[in-house]
Amino acid sequence: MNRRNYQPRSETDNRKRYYTLLQVGKDQLGWDDEFYYGIWLPMQGATLKNGKYSASTMSIGQLCQAVEVMKGLGFKVKPAQAKSSRALADDGQSKKIRSLWLEMHNQGIVRDPSEASLANYVKRLTGVEALQWLDTAQASGVIEALKKWQKRVNGPVAQ
């Protein structure tokens, strides 16, 4: 990491992140508002603000500790999923490629069944970044490569 370009998160950014994590944790753990605001937040160091306990009265350290306590109780922090703005290719060859990919995942050949993983595979094979940009010959090549991979792992099909 280049230290000259390192930009630490501001305290405001971290606070917003912790507020979000606390709310997601509250929902994931199935806590109702009465328990969360009336019992749990005060136990974590929250004080009264406008007549109720609020996470905004907690220090950064208290917020961090509260999230860690939730993790200890079973809260799982999941990274945000990137949304793809590109529509899926829906031509026949692309559907066949996707079908083979998912079939191979179900057989344990492909670890990650995601569209992004398939796109990475196609890019390595063809240099083209998306299924919808493949020409007919390239798509046929991907289909044949997937079939050969599947046959190599599964062995010859008994008739």
Under a CB-based contact definition with an 8 Å cutoff, are residues 112 and 106 in contact?
Answer: no
- How many angstroms separate the CA atoms of 89 and 122, rounded? 13
Extents of the domains making up the chain: 10-72, 92-154
> Residue 96 is encoded by which pair of tokens?
């066949």
pTM exceeds cut of 0.85: no
pLDDT value at position 103?
A: 93
Instruction: Give pLDDT tens digits along the chain (159 positions).
Output: 445 555 555 556 688 889 999 999 999 999 999 999 989 999 999 998 888 899 999 999 999 999 999 999 999 988 766 555 667 778 899 999 999 999 999 988 998 888 889 999 999 999 988 888 889 999 999 999 999 999 998 876 555
Element (H, E) at 53: strand 52-54
